[in-house]
Structure 1
Amino acid sequence: MDIDPALVAGSFLVAIIVGLTGMGGGALMTPMMMLFFNVPPLAAVSSDLVASAIMKPVGGMVHLRNGTVNLRMVGWLCLGSVPMAFAGVFAARLFGEGEQMQQAVKYALGVALLLALTGLLAKSLLGLRQGAGALSARHVDVRPMPTVLIGMVGGLVVGVTSVGSGSLIVVALVMVYPALRANQLVGTDLVQAVPLVASAAVGHILFGDFKLDLTASLLLGSIPGVYLGSRISAWAPDQVIRLALAVVLLASALKLLGVGNMPLLVVVVCFGVAAAFAWRFAKARVVPEEPVSAREPASR
């Protein structure tokens, strides 16, 4: 088995970001393999999905122990996502054969990364709202039909591109369940992602372009990277990490969509500056919820 030390180091760095932010596995790992290691798109998607299927259960068990998982919502999501993730492997084959198919997957991944960027920004805004006390509901009524539909769309995108199990589905859940706590949102999505990614991984092993050496290199770097990122996430500035992740997502998406180096640099720099100012403005506008005792009239 040939292990690529450079790929091990790269996956280690990406996995640290994943551990710090809770998202970005497929959104960063797959483009890294394609852009820096010249891995064919379908092989990158297949190997990343298999590696994720091995790593996802660890985070899921943590959330289950902490009670931050809505198991009923997980069930409805998986009802739609698991079969569609498996079908996504065949959908990727419908794009054509050889270079035509690889290019189609590349463009699909670029679009998925732009959607993932939207998810990251939505999660950041959600975090601000929760800090202000806006999200206080502990129970939400699960709506089966919209939830299954979210799972179906998310599963299809994951099967084709390996992106979406953490980013795209979270965006949809925020829209359908705005009262869901942030930690419940992340925990529920992470647990449903275990069978979702496993289903897509099985499909790619059987019908995709799975590379054992490539996956082994990913796992050797990813497992310690995720562990380290999770350990230091307690003191790392969340807004700085999320801004960095947003910049990387945007740059990867534009590069995959064929944007030139100079326009790419200009767009990424402008986005980074604008996002930093927007974050400071939004944070300044959030007014912390006043304690109940402070709102009560003083006794005479």
Structure 2
Amino acid sequence: MHDLFTTDALSVLIVSFGVGIVVGLTGMGGGALMTPALIFLGINPSAAVANDLVAAAVNKSVGAGVHWRQGSPNLRLALYLIAGSVPFALAGGFIVKYLGGDDTETFLTYAIGVALLFAAASYTLRMYLQLRIISSGRKTSPNIEVRPVPTVLVGALGGLLVGITSVGSGSLIMVALLLLYPTLSAVKLVGTDLIQAVPLVLAAAIGHVATSGVDVGVLVPLIIGGTPGTFLGARAAQWVGQSVIRRGIVIVLSLTGLKMLGVSPTWVGIIGAGLLLLGPLAWGLVRQTAGLPAFDPNSGAWQLGRDREQSGSSGAEER
């Protein structure tokens, strides 16, 4: 109990609250932001991954419950993803222990660094795909033909990545679903991802708890801070420009990944400055190629898609 009333526990609570707000605002970045944040607070990588996974299992269950009541997930699609992801996620902690050997922490640090760079690339691709779908005027549908084999393989790869590093459940799997099912509506996409993420993260948590255990002084502040942060972020999402925040997350993930891979602070700073200066210009060009204004702070791709989808749903109900 004494561990819950320390400066370190307060730091974890504050950071988890901030990360929760970002997750609530954008629906992305949970494990990708929280795990390296814990490591930078001085928590060893194994404990950071294990505690973050347990906390994520709790927080994602709340979000999944909301989507379940609203009837938004595609359950058949979610079941195929779960069939592929759970076994590999469960094995993640044991894989880390086997491959890491006597230097598990170093192995895990590099693995998380690679996963962060992969997550940053996946988030960028996700934003681009959403932009193309919206600009093309492609109609979404609640009914899709599920492709079992590629869906199970996507689940297996996502489960392996999350099981080892706790990073990837909201990046790799979401992008793969956009590629496999481009007509799947936004609300179905998010609902399905949340439903499949609960057993995925829970299985990964069990694997890491079995091999490295949990720290109550870290886990409880993670849950106490993350839950209200996510709630507040979700409530504020309609007033905040999504596109700018998402691009900011990509930059943070890229720089954090480079730092964990051992890149010198000088080069991290140079790369960060380049991304801050040239990133908006590059994204403006991408928007122009999609037939949208280069710089429009009020038109995040994901929010536009949700607005159009909601308008279409309202029109269908009126008809």
Is this a same-fold pair by TM over 0.5?
A: yes
What percent of counterpart residues are identical?
44
* Residue identity in the other structure for 1:23: M
Aligned pair partner of 2:226 in 222, 228, 237: 222
Cα offset, 1:170, TM superposition = 1.3
* 1:30 aligned partner: 35
Alpha-carbon distance in 2 for matches of 1:167, 1:211: 27
* 2:57 aligned partner: 53
CA contact (8 A) 2:251 2:275 kept: yes
* Residue identity in the other structure for 2:111: A
1:7 counterpart = 2:12: yes
Aligned pair partner of 1:111 in 93, 114, 119: 114
CA contact (8 A) 1:135 1:181 kept: no
**Secondary structure of residue in 2 paired with 1:234:** helix
1:277 counterpart = 2:293: no
Aligned pair partner of 2:132 in 129, 134, 152: 129
TM, length-normalised to structure 2: 0.85
1:8-51 deviation line (CA, Å, top 9, x unaligned): 1111111111111101111000000112x111111000000000
Aligned pair partner of 2:76 in 53, 72, 77: 72
CA contact (8 A) 1:126 1:182 kept: no
Alpha-carbon distance in 2 for matches of 1:8, 1:77: 32
Aligned pair partner of 1:170 in 171, 174, 199: 174
* Residue identity in the other structure for 2:21: I
**Secondary structure of residue in 1 paired with 2:220:** helix
Stretch of structure 1 that moved more, 149-158 or 165-174: 165-174
Stretch of structure 1 that moved more, 178-187 or 43-52: 178-187
Q: 1:65 to 1:277 in 2, by over 3 A?
A: farther
1:200 counterpart = 2:204: yes
1:100-145 deviation line (CA, Å, top 9, x unaligned): 1111111111111111112211221233234325431313211111
Cα offset, 1:180, TM superposition = 2.5
CA contact (8 A) 2:94 2:208 kept: no
Alignment RMSD (CA, Å): 1.6
Alpha-carbon distance in 2 for matches of 1:78, 1:135: 28
Stretch of structure 1 that moved more, 65-74 or 7-16: 65-74
Alpha-carbon distance in 2 for matches of 1:135, 1:113: 31
* Residue identity in the other structure for 2:28: M
Alpha-carbon distance in 2 for matches of 1:135, 1:251: 34
Alpha-carbon distance in 2 for matches of 1:287, 1:67: 34
Q: 1:182 to 1:119 in 2, by over 3 A?
A: farther
**Secondary structure of residue in 2 paired with 1:137:** coil
* 1:212 aligned partner: 216
Give structure 1 stretches of 5+ with no counterpart: 289-300
Alpha-carbon distance in 1 for matches of 2:118, 2:178: 14
Give structure 2 stretches of 5+ with no counterpart: 293-319
CA contact (8 A) 2:116 2:254 kept: yes
1:236 counterpart = 2:240: yes
Q: Which has the higher helix share?
A: 2
TM, length-normalised to structure 1: 0.90
CA contact (8 A) 2:133 2:182 kept: no
* Residue identity in the other structure for 2:213: D
* Residue identity in the other structure for 2:269: L
CA contact (8 A) 1:80 1:150 kept: yes
Alpha-carbon distance in 1 for matches of 2:79, 2:236: 32
Q: 1:93 to 1:135 in 2, by over 3 A?
A: farther
Alpha-carbon distance in 1 for matches of 2:188, 2:279: 26
1:53-106 deviation line (CA, Å, top 9, x unaligned): 0000121122233333111110000001111110111101112344x1111111
Alpha-carbon distance in 1 for matches of 2:112, 2:101: 17
